[in-house]
Amino acid sequence: MKQAVQTDGAPKPIGPYSQAVKYGDLVFTSGQIPVDPGTGKMVEGDIQAQTEQVFRNLEAVLQAAGTSLQNAVKVTVFLADMADFTKVNEVYARQFEEPFPARSSVVSALPARARLEIEVVAGS
């Protein structure tokens, strides 16, 4: 049975989707962009500051689902500009321990003109 996950610790959905869905022992997050849930605005600063905000948002959603980034099994990183990859990767590397989750990176146009979006699948 699937169960929606909702927390005030991450930005509210701006459409008909859940922040995450728990299905059995897995949690599937929606992509998070660098929006501060307190202000509802995109955080200012460089790509590393924005990446840190994305991971704060993801951690809040995962905690609401009863898990954490340490249980991530698959991460998808969406970038608006591949030139940001190295700096995003520096922040990314601090978020996980071995064994690292599987990962894909995609370059694409993103919602709200964000520079990055990240989604996670985690065990609970």
Place of tokens 């501060």: 36
* Domain interval for residue 89: 2-123
> What value does the mean pLDDT take over residues 1-5?
95
Between the alpha carbon of residue 7 and those of residues 74, 82, 86, 96, the distances in Å are 21, 31, 30, 22
* Domains held by the chain: number: 1
**CA dist., res. 33 & res. 79, Å (int):** 10
Q: How is residue 100 written in tokens?
A: 């690292």
pLDDT at 63 over 90: yes
The pTM of this model reads 0.95
Q: What is the pLDDT of residue 124?
A: 84
Kindly state the tokens that stand for 37.
Answer: 């849930």
Give me the CATH number covering residue 96. 3.30.1330.40
> What pLDDT, in 10s, does the model give residues 17-43?
999 999 999 999 999 999 999 999 999
Tell me how many degrees the CA angle 76-51-56 measures, rounded to the nearest 5: 90
Mean pLDDT, rounded, for 48-55: 98
Cα-based distances in Å from 34 to 41, 43, 53, 57: 8, 6, 5, 8
**Does residue 49 have a pLDDT over 90?**
yes
